[in-house]
Amino acid sequence: MRYKRWLLLCYLLVMMAFSLSVLLVAAPKFGGYTTSDSGYFHHLTEEIVDADGMVTRHDLSHPPQGLPVGISDQLQPLVAAMIYKGLHPIFPELAVEDITRHISAFFFVLMFIPVFLIGKELAGDLGGCAAVFFLATMASCPGTTSPVYWSKVGAFDRDVFTALLAAWVIYATIRVFKVPRDSTMKFAVLACLTYGLFPIAWGGYPYLMPIIVAALLLVLLNESFAKGSPGWGLGAIWASIRANTVLIYGAAAMLGVTIFVAGVLGGHVFGPGLVTWGLEYVGLKAPAVRIPQYASEMQPSTWGSLYGFYGDGILTAIVFGLAALALMKIFWSRRREEWILLPWLAVVALLAVTQTRFLRLWWPLLACLAGVGLVALALGIRRLSVSQMASTSEWLSLLRKPIVVAICLTLLATPFIHNAYAQAERTGPPMAAELHNALVEASGWLRENTPENSVVAIQWSYGHLLTAVAKRPSVVDGSETWALEGKWENDPDVIIRPPDYIWRPREGRDALLVGGRRVDVDRLFSVDNDEKFAGIVRTYRENYGLKMDYIVFDLSTSYYAIGNAISGARLKAQARSWAQEEEAGTIVFGFGENRENVVFDRWVEGVYLRVDNEKSYLTGYAIFTVYPDGTAALRGFKFLQLSPEIPETLVLYIDEQNNIADAGLVELSVPMGARIFYFEENISYLQLRYTSSNGWVGVYEIVHENLPG
């Protein structure tokens, strides 16, 4: 039946074309790179292309030494560089950026192949086709659980690539568990080749090893207690082990090759350390497993975040319902090739509440489970329709007609397709679209108007975007030297050393770690006077040989700097009472200490102290939302007076019903970012050189000759 193979191939190609059209929806809106670390991997690709081999240092990040590049970051840019090298002779106009900006979308559609094969192994061709559909339409927004976010044009992070590898590992492992004994080692080689690539693609590979071990144990235990086994004791277990010797060898080969690759290429030392790590993993030895959490994608997830791959609605409920049906089918049939799915779901879910990046490894498996569940549901309906009890039910017999099946599938598919396009339309970079485009614009100006060795200070992982577009060294705060806490100051072997003040003395302790990220750079935007700012710049230059030439201010840095300052300020007094005035929109607060008549006028955006009909204006106001658990989040602020008559700010705490829960006054020094960007204050050693067309970003030159001190 060759026509069937051609139909399946056409279906896969159609789904790939559909998925690419979804991922291209937002392409015209954004330039540069659209996830935090994409610029980092783009630069590695350029370096690999130039060096014709792997690289050891990202020379544009963390100048002057550069950021060391581990082996676990190499595979994805290496693949991109190989594709570029192959296509460039055919298309001379092709640039490395053309590959890196689009390749994640192709990684995603290539995932359809192993996902189809997994579904086919578990539930036939229909299961494979359904699994591909559920993967192609997996989209949620906002949030980073969605493949659309990581696969869209401009995204070149590692998540889609590792999910692609994971899908092939799942398929290869299923084949190892399913095939006859004489074919086990053949597919074990395929499993070794796929899982063995993880150490040079992602540093989280060791945490997946227990999945293989757990699946093997489930197979051995299931066959020990299966009907017809010698018994329920050690003899039955030993018989199961003897019957599955080749399978054990195959699983051991998978783990062994991975450990070998990590040891030879990555320089990781295994042996006693692996045993210690294993004990920590299961909690038998302290400390328990620790995973770095210095970036947002590395923060812990919650169980609730597992439920959101298709948005917060009925579509996600349908998919999880089908997945639950598939799990029931697995427990019912207890086929050995299906056991890999259970520990994969369990281990990845447990790891996801430690670090959210692991959640992306659910993508291929969730789609496959939904496909298996759909087939199980269809088979159940079919059996019901042909039973004697159903023979009297004409409506059940209708479900066997092709036209009815086509209508049902269309009704099921349409909402998923519509949701995928709608969510892709709303998906963008991690920051606001206006800020992203302004940063790309400012980075282009830096590339065209500054010397190549100019060092640019910019907050958060925006530095990766800047280095990719501007091709200038950037002081990026998106990295940490893990397990070297406390040694940075005095160890001559440490390559990346932050300024002295990242550690602060504290009573009763040797030191206090301010933060895992390069918080020194962040403080450039939040310090509240010229002397502190100049001190940071001088520390970089004099203590660490790093002369910062430019600094990028933007609206978001000013916003959060003010928000942090307000959050950390102590309220001067709480309002004793407040009352609605006769005039709508005006609220009067009584704080005591000569602050009995503080008026908040929302219509004219005024905050002033009224005494005998005389008005003395405050700095402005800030509004926080207070939640039932006592936490508060900044909703917004407005600074109305650069030189207020009363240097205080009104802070309002609003509950979820928009009622005022509390109020107070704070004395606040305006942070540098706000002083420069909002109020355009003139500081001699900061000279504005460029403002983005939308006014969201300003590039300032640091004039070192004018630095005080």
pLDDT band at 345 (very low <50, low <70, confident <90, very high): confident
- Report which of 442, 434, 433 is spatially closest to residue 469, judged by C-alpha positions: 442
Assess whether pLDDT exceeds 80 at residue 537. yes
- Report which of 636, 663, 632, 633 is spatially closest to residue 650, judged by C-alpha positions: 663
pLDDT band at 422 (very low <50, low <70, confident <90, very high): confident
Do the Cβ atoms of 247 and 176 come closer than 8 Å? yes
Task: Locate 597 and state its tokens.
Answer: 């008549």
Task: Locate 552 and state its tokens.
Answer: 């990028």
The reported pLDDT for the residue numbered 434 is 86
DSSP β-bridge partners for residue 697: 554
Q: What count of Cα atoms within 13 Å lies in the side-chain half-sphere of residue 500?
A: 7
The reported pLDDT for the residue numbered 397 is 57
pLDDT band at 548 (very low <50, low <70, confident <90, very high): very high
Assess whether pLDDT exceeds 80 at residue 127. yes
| Spatial distance between the Cα atoms of 130 and 136, rounded to a whole number of angstroms | 10
The reported pLDDT for the residue numbered 302 is 63
Overall average pLDDT of the 328-336 stretch: 83
The reported pLDDT for the residue numbered 306 is 63
DSSP 289: P
Better-scored residue on pLDDT, 96 or 194: 96
Highest mean pLDDT range out of 174-178, 466-470, 579-583?
Answer: 466-470
Task: Find the range with the poorest average confidence among 39-53, 179-193, 217-231, 561-575.
Answer: 217-231
The reported pLDDT for the residue numbered 489 is 46
Assess whether pLDDT exceeds 50 at residue 503. no
| Spatial distance between the Cα atoms of 696 and 221, rounded to a whole number of angstroms | 61
The reported pLDDT for the residue numbered 286 is 43
Highest mean pLDDT range out of 4-13, 138-147, 204-213, 351-360?
Answer: 4-13
The reported pLDDT for the residue numbered 264 is 63
pLDDT band at 77 (very low <50, low <70, confident <90, very high): very high
Better-scored residue on pLDDT, 196 or 373: 373
The reported pLDDT for the residue numbered 402 is 62
Task: Find the range with the poorest average confidence among 79-93, 276-290, 601-615, 622-636.
Answer: 276-290
Q: Check residue 616 and give left, alpha or beta (phi > 0: left; psi -120 to 50: alpha).
A: beta
In this structure, are strands 660-667 and 573-574 parallel, antiparallel, or unpaired? antiparallel
Interior/surface letters 395-424, b for 16+ CB within 10 angstroms, e for the rest: ebeebeeeeeeeeeeeeeeeebeebbeebb
> In this predicted model, what pLDDT tens digit does every residue of 209-225 receive, in sequence order?
788 888 888 877 777 77
Task: Locate 59 and state its tokens.
Answer: 């020379």
Q: What are phi and psi of 428, to 5 degrees?
A: -145, -160
Task: State yes or no: cis peptide before 492, omega within 30 of 0.
Answer: no
Task: Find the range with the poorest average confidence among 199-203, 519-523, 565-569.
Answer: 519-523
The reported pLDDT for the residue numbered 446 is 97
The reported pLDDT for the residue numbered 501 is 35
- Report which of 555, 586, 581, 573 is spatially closest to residue 648, judged by C-alpha positions: 573
Overall average pLDDT of the 630-653 stretch: 79
Q: Give the DSSP letter string of 484-532.
A: -TTTTTT-TT-S----GGGEEEETTEEEEE--SS-HHHHHHHH--SHHH
The reported pLDDT for the residue numbered 614 is 87
pTM: 0.80
Task: Locate 143 and state its tokens.
Answer: 């949030």
The amino acid that residue 193 corresponds to is L
H helix or E strand, kind and range, residue 586: strand 586-590
The reported pLDDT for the residue numbered 109 is 95
The reported pLDDT for the residue numbered 610 is 87
The reported pLDDT for the residue numbered 562 is 73
Task: Locate 91 and state its tokens.
Answer: 């298309």
The reported pLDDT for the residue numbered 506 is 38
Q: Mean pLDDT over all residues of the chain?
A: 78
The reported pLDDT for the residue numbered 511 is 37
In this structure, are strands 598-601 and 606-611 parallel, antiparallel, or unpaired? antiparallel
The amino acid that residue 330 corresponds to is I
Number of neighbouring beta carbons within 10 Å of residue 211: 24
Number of neighbouring beta carbons within 10 Å of residue 611: 12
H helix or E strand, kind and range, residue 590: strand 586-590
Percent of the chain with pLDDT over 70: 77
The reported pLDDT for the residue numbered 450 is 96
| Spatial distance between the Cα atoms of 463 and 448, rounded to a whole number of angstroms | 17
What is the 3-state composition of the chain as percent helix, strand, coil, each rounded to the nearest 5? Answer: 55, 15, 30
Q: Dihedral of the CA atoms 642, 644, 649, 650 (nearest 10)?
A: -120
DSSP β-bridge partners for residue 691: 698
The reported pLDDT for the residue numbered 304 is 64
Better-scored residue on pLDDT, 668 or 708: 708
Task: Locate 669 and state its tokens.
Answer: 């020094």
Radius of gyration of the chain (CA): 30
Do the Cβ atoms of 368 and 118 come closer than 8 Å? yes
pLDDT band at 443 (very low <50, low <70, confident <90, very high): very high
